[in-house]
Chains A and B, each alone.
Chain A
Amino acid sequence: MNSQEFRNNLLLKRPRYAVSRIPVLDAFSEKGSKSADYSRFGPYYEIYIYAMMLGIKKKQRLPLPPRDLTKDFIEMGKWKRDSSLIDFLLMVIFTQTDNLQIDWNELEDMGQEDLNKVISSVVNLIEEYANGGLAYLEELWENGKLDNSHYMFIDLYNTSSNNDN
């Protein structure tokens, strides 16, 4: 597998989310109701990415429930087209070598099967961080701790310390 194939295999993956997170996803994205009470993101992948990054900042990994209680959405390669956003996200994810239990150089010597497992665990990590971020948002939301302002998300993002640092 060369670089291009590896990238393609990764970007064809469709991360999943727990069905139970649909209310929170809908509440904060435009896919939800038009008369929103809160500031919102556009498509699902935006709130998903935000939640994932928030999850990383808060070090909140939360495994997804069994597969039949989850749903997938568009493949990562289609998140924000014509943008290098995904490259940045993958940069952040691939620095999580401890969590992924990988060594970059070892990847180069793996067999097809093992490498696909690595790809799965990358997606898995994305899903768990997103789920953790969404759980955090949901908790704030349910307890009425969200500040209803247009700057709610950036303020929250700014004040959430990055535990990696």
Chain B
Amino acid sequence: MASIINSISFKNFFNYYGDYDTTRYDFEEGVNIVVADNGAGKSKFFNAFLWLFYDTVLNSDDKRTYPVKDFAVKIISDKAKNETLMGDSVETGIKLEYSTGRYKFQIVKSFIATRIGEKLSDFDSWQITLNDVEVDKTDHVLPKYKPIYDAEEKHRVINQLILPTLRQYSFFQGEEVDKMIDFTKKSSIEDAVRTLTNISKYEDIAKIVQDISNKAYNDLNKQTKSTSDHNDRLESAIELKKSLEIQLEQENEKLNIQKELYETAEQEKNDLEQNFANAEKRKELDDKISQKSRVLRGVKEDYDNFLEGINSRFFDGGFSWISLGFERSVVDFKDKIKDFRQKRYEKRALLNATENPNDYFTILPSDSPDAVTLEQMIESEHCHVCNRSAEKGSDAHNYLLKLKNRPNETDSTRDFVKNDLEDFFGNLQINASPFLNKFEAIPQSVLRTREKELELKKRLDKLNSELKTLKARRKDILIAGTESEGADNASDIINQYKGSIRRIEQASGRIERLQNNISELKTKITNTDKEITSLRPKDIPEGYTVSYEITQDLVEATNKAQARVFDKMVSLLESHANEHFESLIKYNDIKGGVLSFEKTPSGGISLDYIDELGNDVSGASEGFQRMKKFAVVMAIISANTSQYNYPLLADAPLSAFGKAFNKGFFEAIPDVFPQSIILVKDLYDKDLDGKLTDLGQKLLESNTIRTLYLNEVDEELPQIERTTKIERRK
């Protein structure tokens, strides 16, 4: 029956402050997820298992593992440390419960720290005593735990949770997948095949039958010598075979050296490719960041200008906010100017009348012609009133003209006031017109201003958050890239890369030549062997010959069987890996290709993703590469003839995956692992109400997910107050 982790709990373990019952995760068969942002306890959780299995913890600062004993002071919760008085002690530990079909086990690892110094985080301030590991056992019928005392039995119980040989496939942190599956290394694929098959038995048999065969050959030669008196030709044939065999051995040695060189160069090439890709990706991200920053600066400036400019809308005729509430003044002004003009008019009229009454009141005699008649009279040069001619230039004609132009004479401009201010007031009204007609529109304009601001603000926030994401990705790459030493310079990388390819080609050419030599030598040896057989005296007892022949056949058969088992397992892995890969990338666009396991000259396997025409599918991201390898991990586990009986414990397996990969991942893992506990930050979004991303929410509703926890740490608090809060969401 499979091992299923029922619960894990912590006591003052890093930020998991408090006793076991306050910081406890209960898990079930199936998929269990712990969602936590950076710094909210994922790696600490993972560390609990490192302590359980290896008595070490991983220091996230320098990515190195330390024995628990030496690192204890850092393991204790800062809050707990702070609360421990001088001379008092604090206990720190982890407790895990797991069950197999019939039994249930509880394992506790802990230590006691006694405070002997002032400085909290000083290693010298604490005296550490490691407690014995406690292992208890119960069967499901009896609810009571009974302690196990035997050290070996305790060890066995811990190992049974995940067998040491399988841990590399079942207990890992995100980036480790890259390293654990590197089939270009012959040892890596051999490891996998050895884990999965009884191939080591074939290796044993091969060794035994080879020994027997050698013995049979020696016996046969001894017999030959003792029965034949003198046979130069046979003698020299045996010598020849011996020297050929020595040559073969030397060539094999050379071949091994070249294979190693090949493997090293291939490894270097792969590492550089990773680096190269990172370098390229870094550049790409840098470009994106600087472009985004530029846009952001522009929008920020727009936004600032906009805010600065809000108040200028008071004075801008286009907005005219200053006129808000002054409708009445405008009406007032209009009344006043009307009044003013009226009074002026009257005043002028009065003045004219007084000063020049005859000009002003021109009273025509009765029967005076109207304007139209007057016009006709002027034109026809004839007065219809007195019926006399009035030729042009005559007094009569001039009189008619004078009559006609009569109103104009009275319009002559003349000052009737000291200060003519009509234009002053009139122009105020005309000029101010932009400010006179917006009263009703102003509230709307204020509202639109607010909307515009919100719009700009939204855009600014969006850009800010995009930039933050880009920077975070850039930082992630930096972390991944720090492992390569001295290869920071891009041209260095390219030169090294070219060098490694040249060495791969060289080694590969030499391997081919050596393999030719070897097969020639083998043919020669076989032929020499035939000659030896024919030269052997006929009086040798048949048993020696037969025994030699049979053992030789056995050697050949065993070698072939071993190779067949290996090949068969590789092709089984290939087909399983493809199946898993298919389901992992279910939601991705890249489709239509297959994972192909190609043999390399050094005996390793290169893992390629090729399309129907056999071409490499390029442009595959880091996440894609990791997914490919994860498919192989799953293949190694599912290709096992028996059911896989161990949980999967993975910290941040998704860190480099895209969203679509994540979805595929959670759907695919239950096919292989009876239980999985996945620690992720990718489903966390602190800005959302439920703190979970869309996918997080969907998983919460999905039947495949059995439990989902959310860790939160109050980042506002100082480190010595911080604790990890565990919230079960499902």
- Name A residues whose Cβ lies closer than 8 Å to a Cβ of B: 1-4, 6-7, 30, 39-42, 46, 49-50, 53, 57, 80, 83-85, 87-88, 90-92, 94-95, 97, 104-105, 107-111, 115, 150-151, 153-154, 157-158, 160-162, 164-165
In this complex, which of B326, B328, B333, B422 has the most chain A Cβ atoms within 10 angstroms of its Cβ? Answer: B326
Cβ contacts under 8 Å, B317 to chain A: 83-85
Q: B310-333: which residues lie under 8 A (CB-CB) from chain A? A: 310-317, 321-330, 332-333
Distance in Å: Cβ of B483 to nearest Cβ of chain A: 45
A92–B417 CB distance below 8 A = no
Cβ contacts under 8 Å, B323 to chain A: 88
Those 10 A-B pairs whose CB atoms lie nearest each other, nearest first:
A3-B423, A3-B424, A87-B431, A88-B435, A108-B417, A88-B432, A87-B432, A162-B325, A84-B431, A95-B332
B421–A95 CB distance below 8 A = no
In the assembled complex, the Cα of A158 lies from the Cα of B446 at a distance in Å of 10
Cβ contacts under 8 Å, A109 to chain B: 417-419
In the assembled complex, the Cα of A151 lies from the Cα of B435 at a distance in Å of 20
Given known A90-B428, A150-B307, contact A107–B325 (CB-CB < 8 A): no
B88 contacts chain A at the CB level, 8 A cutoff: no
B421–A108 CB distance below 8 A = yes
Given known A4-B423, A84-B433, A94-B333, contact A40–B311 (CB-CB < 8 A): yes
B327-371 interface code vs A (CB 8 A; 1 in, 0 out):
111101100110110011001000000000000000000000000
B61 contacts chain A at the CB level, 8 A cutoff: no
Cβ contacts under 8 Å, A150 to chain B: 307, 310, 453
A105–B340 CB distance below 8 A = yes
B729 contacts chain A at the CB level, 8 A cutoff: no
In the assembled complex, the Cα of A35 lies from the Cα of B649 at a distance in Å of 53
Cβ contacts under 8 Å, B541 to chain A: none
B432–A153 CB distance below 8 A = no
Please give me the residue from chain A that is nearest to B346 by CB atom.
A105
B424–A91 CB distance below 8 A = no
Name A3's contact: one of B336, B418, B420 (CB within 8 Å).
B420
Extra 18 A-B pairs, beta carbons < 8 Å, given A3-B424, A39-B307, A151-B449: A7-B424, A41-B312, A83-B315, A88-B323, A91-B429, A95-B329, A95-B332, A105-B344, A150-B453, A151-B446, A154-B313, A154-B321, A154-B446, A157-B314, A157-B325, A158-B325, A164-B328, A165-B325
In the assembled complex, the Cα of A4 lies from the Cα of B421 at a distance in Å of 8
B420–A2 CB distance below 8 A = yes
B311–A41 CB distance below 8 A = yes
CB<8 Å pairs between A and B, sample of 9? A1-B418, A3-B427, A6-B421, A50-B322, A87-B431, A92-B326, A94-B425, A109-B419, A162-B325
Please give me the residue from chain A that is nearest to B331 by CB atom.
A95
In the assembled complex, the Cα of A161 lies from the Cα of B424 at a distance in Å of 30
In the assembled complex, the Cα of A40 lies from the Cα of B308 at a distance in Å of 7
In the assembled complex, the Cα of A162 lies from the Cα of B314 at a distance in Å of 16
In the assembled complex, the Cα of A50 lies from the Cα of B323 at a distance in Å of 10
A110–B427 CB distance below 8 A = no
Please give me the residue from chain A that is nearest to B325 by CB atom.
A162
B427–A164 CB distance below 8 A = no
Chain B, interface SS category? helix
Cβ contacts under 8 Å, B321 to chain A: 154, 157
Given known A1-B419, A95-B336, contact A108–B344 (CB-CB < 8 A): yes
Please give me the residue from chain B that is nearest to A10 by CB atom.
B424
B450 contacts chain A at the CB level, 8 A cutoff: yes
B428–A87 CB distance below 8 A = yes
In the assembled complex, the Cα of A82 lies from the Cα of B315 at a distance in Å of 12
Please give me the residue from chain B that is nearest to A161 by CB atom.
B325
In the assembled complex, the Cα of A95 lies from the Cα of B333 at a distance in Å of 6
In the assembled complex, the Cα of A6 lies from the Cα of B327 at a distance in Å of 26
In this complex, which of A4, A46, A87, A151 has the most chain B Cβ atoms within 10 angstroms of its Cβ? Answer: A87
In the assembled complex, the Cα of A154 lies from the Cα of B310 at a distance in Å of 9
Cβ contacts under 8 Å, B336 to chain A: 94-95, 97, 104
B436 contacts chain A at the CB level, 8 A cutoff: yes
In the assembled complex, the Cα of A104 lies from the Cα of B321 at a distance in Å of 28
Given known A88-B435, A104-B340, A108-B417, contact A57–B333 (CB-CB < 8 A): no
A111–B424 CB distance below 8 A = no
Cβ contacts under 8 Å, B329 to chain A: 91-92, 95, 164
Name B427's contact: one of A46, A87, A153 (CB within 8 Å).
A87
Distance in Å: Cβ of A165 to nearest Cβ of chain B: 5
A2–B419 CB distance below 8 A = yes
Cβ contacts under 8 Å, B425 to chain A: 94, 104
In this complex, which of B311, B323, B333 has the most chain A Cβ atoms within 10 angstroms of its Cβ? Answer: B311
B324–A157 CB distance below 8 A = yes
A158–B324 CB distance below 8 A = yes
In the assembled complex, the Cα of A53 lies from the Cα of B433 at a distance in Å of 18
B67 contacts chain A at the CB level, 8 A cutoff: no
B63-76 interface code vs A (CB 8 A; 1 in, 0 out):
00000000000000
Please give me the residue from chain B that is nearest to A155 by CB atom.
B446
Distance in Å: Cβ of B497 to nearest Cβ of chain A: 53
B509 contacts chain A at the CB level, 8 A cutoff: no
B658 contacts chain A at the CB level, 8 A cutoff: no
In the assembled complex, the Cα of A109 lies from the Cα of B340 at a distance in Å of 13
Distance in Å: Cβ of B8 to nearest Cβ of chain A: 50
Distance in Å: Cβ of B327 to nearest Cβ of chain A: 8
Cβ contacts under 8 Å, A50 to chain B: 311, 314, 322
B434 contacts chain A at the CB level, 8 A cutoff: yes
Given known A83-B315, A91-B333, A108-B419, contact A53–B347 (CB-CB < 8 A): no
Distance in Å: Cβ of A162 to nearest Cβ of chain B: 4
A165–B431 CB distance below 8 A = no
In this complex, which of A3, A30, A88, A111 has the most chain B Cβ atoms within 10 angstroms of its Cβ? Answer: A88
In the assembled complex, the Cα of A101 lies from the Cα of B125 at a distance in Å of 88
Distance in Å: Cβ of A47 to nearest Cβ of chain B: 9
A6–B311 CB distance below 8 A = no
Cβ contacts under 8 Å, A160 to chain B: 325
Distance in Å: Cβ of B719 to nearest Cβ of chain A: 32
Cβ contacts under 8 Å, A162 to chain B: 325-326, 328
A42–B322 CB distance below 8 A = no
B310–A49 CB distance below 8 A = no
In the assembled complex, the Cα of A6 lies from the Cα of B418 at a distance in Å of 12
Given known A6-B424, A88-B432, A105-B347, contact A46–B326 (CB-CB < 8 A): no
Cβ contacts under 8 Å, B422 to chain A: 3
A46–B311 CB distance below 8 A = yes
In the assembled complex, the Cα of A150 lies from the Cα of B343 at a distance in Å of 47
In the assembled complex, the Cα of A53 lies from the Cα of B307 at a distance in Å of 22
A42–B312 CB distance below 8 A = yes
Name A6's contact: one of B325, B337, B344, B419 (CB within 8 Å).
B419
In the assembled complex, the Cα of A40 lies from the Cα of B332 at a distance in Å of 32
Distance in Å: Cβ of B312 to nearest Cβ of chain A: 6
B450–A151 CB distance below 8 A = yes
Cβ contacts under 8 Å, A151 to chain B: 310, 446, 449-450
